[in-house]
Amino acid sequence: MRKLVIFCLIGLLVVSALPSHANTPFRVWIAWNVPPDFETMLAPLIASGEYERVESRAAADLELVVTPYGGAITSRWLYVPVVPFVSLADNLAFADIQRYWNGDNLALSYLSGINTPTTLIISASVMDAMTYFLGEPAPTTMIQIVPEAGLIDQLWRQRPNVWSMVAFNDLTPQLKPLTVDGVDILSADFNPDTYPFMIEIGVRGDDLALARAIEDLLTAGTWRGSNRDPQRLTRVVLSGVTALTRATAFAMENQGITLPAQNIMPFLADADVLHTSNEVAFSQQCPYPDPNAGTVFCSDDRYMELLQYIGLDVVELTGNHINDYGPGALKHTLDRYDEVGMAYFGGGHTPDDARAPYIMEHNGNTIAFIGCNVPGPFKAWVSDDRPGAAACDDAYLAEELTRLSAEVDVVIMTVQDFEYYQYNPPPAQVTRFTNYATWGADVVIGSQAHQPQGFGMVEREGQGAAFIHHGLGNLFFDQMDALSTRQMFMDKLVIYDGQVISVELFTGLIESYCCPRPMTVAERQSFLQTIFQASGW
């Protein structure tokens, strides 16, 4: 007890020795090159009247500065080079950025694929950060400073000879983050300690002001130790048609059930949530696969091993073959998903079950999956007396998507639309998908497409841009007759702090009637050019 009293007396002496502010507010000075996000972090403190911002550093009790020497409380702020989503570029070299900054305007011409000068389009605050990273740019360096609100429009308008740099938390699906010397800021194994585009912001000042500010910042909950916190990141991989039947199933029987996945696992390695649209029910009466069979499909129960092997989390049930083997097979399939712990949506035992969203949470991000089937056929749709896919009911969806948008962070809508073997989506489909985005879906995916289709972006007031992909193509299926049905996408949504900030595209080519592999660089560029053209870009 005597020791406790002595410590308390010492504490009182220390506090009494600190400067007394009585009822005067603490004065805060923010350095010119501190990112504007920090003004937002401090806003609750300023609004309380107990802190005030001052323009004189000498008069301040507290200062926020960009510093390599830290402070009583610090934050790491990361930046990433970007191009418009429509770009074919994926990577750049740090040495080339340095050359560009020093006046070689051709150093990054490979980003556009044209040997012409490129222009760096950035906001004023990011210009300050780049000057901190790289020093003052050469007078001849082509730099265009624009208001932050107009940055994306300028990049898209002036493409392809442009690039930019943005804070990690300012990424959107309209921008494509570039890897730097192969280092991907979106990946799970990213190490910020060796990343060149990072600044540290420190809070410094007199002891009393620092102690109070730290307490108040933590109480307010606005201070962020980084704008890239791994505990706020979620990666959702969306994949296309899965049909473990016919020639695909024959290959699995003869070469191993997990054979189709062997070349795609690296892309799936850091997925927190993996989705596919499995169009085919499992059946205990499913015959041995015939590569030349017709279009009435089933899958052997043993093929569940493949879905477990890839780490499938969420199964979409909007497919038009879902009831090929009758309601008994689908009921059995739903039981099997329940047994192995795979969630499902877009179909179910009853109409209410089928159209209900699946809602999940990961790293603080709440995500809703909802799906439906537009064309049928009738036997595929759920009814009061049989399981099946949810029919698309726009009156219901307009209300439900609006509700979900208000209640969860990210709404993912998947649609089994009419099948068209073309890269450009038909106008009626574009209208439907745009409506779903306008009503509240942040991501809209076409699950019907055996041939991949184009993209869309829908601007929404106060909600950011919604991402539309009209068709992913097949994941595991045997359509080898045309190049277009062998081509396929998987879309990796990167969600940060409740927002979709990026979409990474896996581009693959299906081989041997079963097995997607990554495209070569040349195949990928040709494919993306085709898809971007089909998107009207």
Domain that holds residue 511: 230-534
Residue 3 belongs to a domain: no
CB atoms within 10 A of CB 402: 14
Strand order in the sheet with 453-458: 358-362, 365-373, 410-416, 443-446, 466-471, 453-458
CB atoms within 10 A of CB 114: 11
Whether 168 and 286 map to the same domain: the answer is no
Q: 3-state secondary structure string, 233-284?
A: EEEEEEEEEECCCHHHHHHHHHHCCCHHHCCCHHHHCCCCEEEEEECCCECC
Give the whole-angstrom CA distance, residue 289 versus residue 249. Answer: 6
Residue 86 belongs to a domain: yes
Residue 125 belongs to a domain: yes
Angle at 535 between CA 416 and CA 178, to 5 degrees: 105
pLDDT value of position 3? 37
Residue 31 belongs to a domain: no
pLDDT value of position 98? 97
Give the whole-angstrom CA distance, residue 339 versus residue 335. Answer: 6
pLDDT value of position 10? 33
The DSSP call for residue 186 is T
Q: Which residues pair with 77 in a beta bridge?
A: 199
Give the whole-angstrom CA distance, residue 533 versus residue 64. Answer: 47
Dihedral pair phi/psi, residue 184, rounded to 5°: -105, 115
Give the whole-angstrom CA distance, residue 24 versus residue 168. Answer: 37
Whether 191 and 318 map to the same domain: the answer is no
| Residues 6 or more apart in contact with residue 96 via CB below 8 angstroms | 107, 108
> If you average pLDDT over every residue of the chain, what do you get?
94
**Helix spans in 119-165 (H):** 124-134, 151-158
Whether 323 and 178 map to the same domain: the answer is no
Reported as a pLDDT band with limits 50, 70 and 90, residue 521 is very high
Whether 190 and 248 map to the same domain: the answer is no
Whether 119 and 241 map to the same domain: the answer is no
What's the token pair of residue 111? 């980003």
Give the whole-angstrom CA distance, residue 166 versus residue 120. Answer: 11
Whether 192 and 234 map to the same domain: the answer is no
Reported as a pLDDT band with limits 50, 70 and 90, residue 359 is very high
Q: 220-268 pLDDT, tens per residue?
A: 998 999 999 999 999 999 999 999 999 999 999 999 999 999 999 999 9
Residue 48 belongs to a domain: no
Percent of the chain beyond pLDDT 90? 91
Whether 274 and 341 map to the same domain: the answer is yes
Read off the CATH number of the domain in which 350 is found.
Answer: 3.60.21.10
Q: Report the domain count for the chain.
A: 2
Whether 176 and 241 map to the same domain: the answer is no
pLDDT value of position 233? 98
Predicted TM-score (pTM) of the model is: 0.93
Instruction: Say whether 406 sits in a helix, a strand or coil.
Output: helix
Whether 190 and 311 map to the same domain: the answer is no
pLDDT value of position 22? 53
Taking the CA atoms of the chain, what radius of gyration do you get in angstroms? 27
Residue 50 belongs to a domain: no
403 residue type, one letter: R
Q: Tell how strand 73-84 and strand 175-177 pair up.
A: antiparallel
- The residue with tokens 């439900």 is 400
Whether 336 and 452 map to the same domain: the answer is yes
Angle at 318 between CA 269 and CA 292, to 5 degrees: 85
Whether 407 and 503 map to the same domain: the answer is yes
Of the two residues 222 and 82, the one the predictor is more confident about is 82
Dump the DSSP string for 463-521: T-PEEEEEE-BEEE----SSHHHHEEEEEEEEEETTEEEEEEEEEEEEETTTEEEEPPH
Q: 285-309 pLDDT, tens per residue?
A: 999 999 999 999 999 999 999 999 9
Percent of the chain beyond pLDDT 70? 96
Give the whole-angstrom CA distance, residue 145 versus residue 130. Answer: 12
Residue 159 belongs to a domain: yes
Q: Tell how strand 26-30 and strand 62-66 pair up.
A: parallel
- The residue with tokens 């420190």 is 202
Whether 167 and 280 map to the same domain: the answer is no
Asked if 298 and 325 count as a contact pair (C-beta separation under 8 A), the reply is: yes
pLDDT value of position 1? 39
Read off the CATH number of the domain in which 163 is found.
Answer: 3.40.190.10
Q: Which helix (H) or strand (E) holds 431?
A: helix 427-439
Residue 215 belongs to a domain: no
Give the whole-angstrom CA distance, residue 230 versus residue 299. Answer: 38
Give the whole-angstrom CA distance, residue 380 versus residue 486. Answer: 26
Q: Which helix (H) or strand (E) holds 203?
A: strand 198-205
